[in-house]
Structure 1
């Protein structure tokens, strides 16, 4: 028996990705043009800086945009069309996505350890610090969690990893779909801190260019997440 998650409206990030992508596709933002500032996009669409950055990250991974540090974000082109979509509406769907991620991200972490640059490490560390800040503020940090995994994919230097991660989007983080109705409690904060400690183990292995260590740390992290979801599914069946 599958237990449906609480249905929520289409995410703000997905809406913004669609809106920005439409401007590229219809020619309002031709290749080579510079995007408005983050602040201007926030004001126009009424969204937070986190939403803007995640939307831009997805469009970068899809080869639509490119950010040049210290200069701005520019249009590369229309990117590659894709019909690949993943729905994470139920616990079983989430578990299935985690199985996919175990296969993909364990090898991605190993490649990232071998190929990462100093700039990649800075981006991963910034994402981890954003997760920690969110936890301290009583938020779940799912957006920053997605950003951390996306930065690892980018560090592989293989664009297909980042493109697939962007396609999965923020809903690949289990709590982004299933946990946001839970109140902030000491137990929940402890759980989020354990998850972030697993992230720290991954990052440390990548920093020291330990491919096997990074592979093992990522596998442990995702396997733990899968186990937690399986327990939740079993409990839901017993309640049903």
Structure 2
């Protein structure tokens, strides 16, 4: 095999190593903010009854997996993949499937030293954000679905940005 040195095509990738740094997680969340906003709008416009069942099933799996942050992240990824499928646009599905668990930073990344109550409060907040998004998709309310997805992603971005600021302050004060 031979690959030309001037080949223009490069496949998009997001490696686990790239997401080891909080700054890169934030960059991925910035990308998801735009992507998931429009994805939710399309899902609301095009979803089927079966799609609603898949989305709700993933939401139940997230709730059932609360005690295990890794399993909860996998269920959260399945939730977003179910929404991608509801767009009836296979490119959304392929992109979200490709991102997989990299799509959802596990909560132990930012709640590592927090109490069980903090984990429960976080899970309840995310659940409320997801419930609002699902309700808008079920009702085929495109503007509300977009707004709910944007709100959910903005909240995630804010949580991770705050964590980054705290980490930066710790590094500065340790110097």
Do they superpose with TM above 0.5? Answer: yes
Superposition CA RMSD, Å: 1.7
In structure 2, the partner of 1:78 is none
Q: Decide whether aligned partners of structure 1 residues 177 and 103 sit closer, same or farther in structure 2, where only a CA change above 3 A counts.
A: farther
- Give the C-alpha shift of residue 182 in structure 1: 4.9
The unaligned stretches of length 5 or more in structure 1 are 1-81
1:37-60 C-alpha deviation (Å, 9 max, x unpaired): xxxxxxxxxxxxxxxxxxxxxxxx
Aligned length: 157
Q: By how many angstroms is 1:184 displaced?
A: 5.9
Alignment-derived partner of residue 131 in structure 1: 62
List per-residue Cα deviations over 1:54-94 (Å, max 9, x = no partner): xxxxxxxxxxxxxxxxxxxxxxxxxxxx8321131111101
Q: Which runs of 5+ in 2 are unaligned?
A: 1-9
Aligned match for 2:134, one of 203, 208, 215: 203
Structure 2 contact 110–160 (Cα < 8 Å) conserved: no
Residue 215 (1) aligns with residue 146 (2): yes
Change (3 A) 1:139 1:237: same
Aligned 8 A contact 1:84 1:167 in 2: no
TM (norm. structure 2) is 0.84
Shift of 1:176: 6.3
Which structure carries more helix by proportion?
A: 2
1:123-162 paired onto structure 2 within 5 Å: 123-135=54-66, 138-140=67-69, 141-162=72-93
CA distance in 2, matches of 1:112, 1:225: 21
Match of residue 97 from structure 2: 166
Q: What residue is the counterpart of 1:83 in the other structure?
A: 11
